[in-house]
Structure 1
Amino acid sequence: MSNNPAITTILILFANPASTPRLRLDEEARKIDEVFRRSNNRERFILEIKYAVRARDLFQAILDYQPQIVHVSGHCAGEDGILLEDDWGQPTVLNTDALIEAFSTNGVECVVLNACFSQAQANAISQCVNYAIGINREIGDKVAIDFATGFYEVFADLQDVESAFELACSRLINDGEHLTPVLKKRMLQ
């Protein structure tokens, strides 16, 4: 029996295609990275960050890193899927079926979709992962960054996904956004 605690790999994927509103993804990445560097439990986490993500990058990164948590920040195409980049940096939609395929067989336990109107994808993804977090309306950079930072601050303290979600939402009360993030849990059959 090993005394080594389990290592959790977190894959952060950012996409902000040309011709879409600019997002402060660099600030979100900096703050998330800072959370784990300051954590007393930093040796229990591997953080991988990728920018300008294309669909094939998402699939390849999941295969390469075999993360337990995948965090996707950028823009969403509502019910159609999430926006990633094509080879020329322009927006392209990764549809919900492709998202389900990406997360269904690779050991991913939690997906955080930190993008406006990503609740539909979270609902669908929750069929194949234990937890899926989406956003139910349009949000600004400040709220997205505050939510992500709050979530990982609690998670890095070795709390579970549900506790991290609840406490991250509580950080948004003053902004009136505490009901904007939505947690979906897989229904066990």
Structure 2
Amino acid sequence: MKKILILGANPKNTTNLRLDEEVREIKKTLQLSLNRNDFQIITESAVQVDDLIRFLSNHQPTIVHFAGHGSGADGLALEDDSGQMQLVSTEALGKLFSLFQHIIECVLLNACYSEVQATEIHQHIDCVIAMNKAIGDKAAIKFSIGFYTALWSGMNYKDCFHMGFTSIDLQGIPEYLTPVIKIRQRNQGEQSINSPISDEEPVGKQTVNQTNQNQTNIASGNTVSGDFNFSPKQEGTKDT
């Protein structure tokens, strides 16, 4: 049985996200699957930094799904003891996942500007999916629905990724280009896929100044307008 560990964090001083809806839709797709007995979904909410080691050690997941806010090079936004935002660094996340590389097959970072974390984690985990820009709640949820519908049906992670962004595209949402995947087969080279056409360079790479601005806007609760297809921004965007 494959275990999917969903970690959610929506600190008090960040924009409210529809994380409960995302989890509910993922569970719904599993309930409708003929292969539902082959998977187990475990959810943990209001995740704090100290929880990461505890949850990964206790649950021993096959897939780790993070739903929350990202801040580019500054890290992912978890919660401190008072429920406020506490960033966990990219380097620390890489070291953490290196300890579980014999267990975890795939990491899905459903958070804005999380590609930098994906690159670091991919040094240890064969398949990592992330977002190269800001992504709205609706697109993030549609990606999850498509990805897990494919997973429950027995597709490989690459095809699950394609199903995820296709689910966004079918809704007419331009953010289907936002998800990126870094995937390899052990001892058979590495692929980096950022759109239906495999590419070496990610689509819409953020500049250093934009990345720094992302962290500022997370802390202040303002929205960020991206330079590719995020203007006007959708309500509930995950980068704030």
Q: TM-score range by the shorter chain?
A: over 0.9
Size of the aligned set, in residue pairs, is 183
Matches within 5 A, 1:120-159: 120-159=116-155
Letter in 2 for 1:128: H
Q: Deviations over 1:2-31 (max 9, x none)?
A: xxxxx1000000000011000000100110
Query: 1:55·1:94 contact (CA, 8 Å) conserved in 2?
Result: yes
Partner of 1:8: 2
Name the counterpart of 1:116. Answer: 112
Tell me the residue number matched to 2:34. Answer: 40
TM-score (norm 2): 0.74
For each residue in 1:122-179, what CA deviation from the matched residue of structure 2 results, as whole angstroms up to 9, or x when unmatched? 1111110010001011111000100011100110111111000011111122211221
Structure 2 residue ranges without an equivalent (≥5): 188-240
CA–CA separation in structure 2 for the residues paired with 1:181 and 1:80: 19
- Mapped contact 2:8–2:19 kept (Cα < 8 A): yes
What code does the residue aligned with 1:178 have?
Y
- Which position in structure 1 is the counterpart of 2:55? 61
Percent identity between the aligned chains?
Answer: 42
Shift, 1:186, TM fit: 4.4
The answer to whether the 8 A contact 1:127-1:187 is kept is no
TM-score (norm 1): 0.93
> Which 4+ stretches in 1 moved above 3 angstroms?
186-189
1:105 is displaced (CA, Å) by: 2.2
Contact 2:145 2:167 in 1 (8 A): no
Q: What RMSD, in angstroms, separates the aligned Cα atoms of the two structures? A: 1.2
Aligned to 2:163: 167
One-letter amino acid matched to 1:66:
Q
Deviations, residues 70-99 of structure 1 (Å, cap 9, x unaligned)? 000100121121000001000001111221
Secondary structure in 2 matching 1:92: strand
Counterpart of 2:70? 76
In 2: Cα distance, 1:56 partner to 1:158 partner: 33
Q: Distance in 1 between matches of 2:14 and 2:184?
A: 32
Q: Distance in 2 between matches of 1:34 and 1:98?
A: 33
1:4 aligned partner: none
The superposition leaves residues 18-74 of structure 1 with CA deviations (integer Å, 9 ceiling, x where unpaired) of: 110000001001101111122111110011001000111121111001001000010
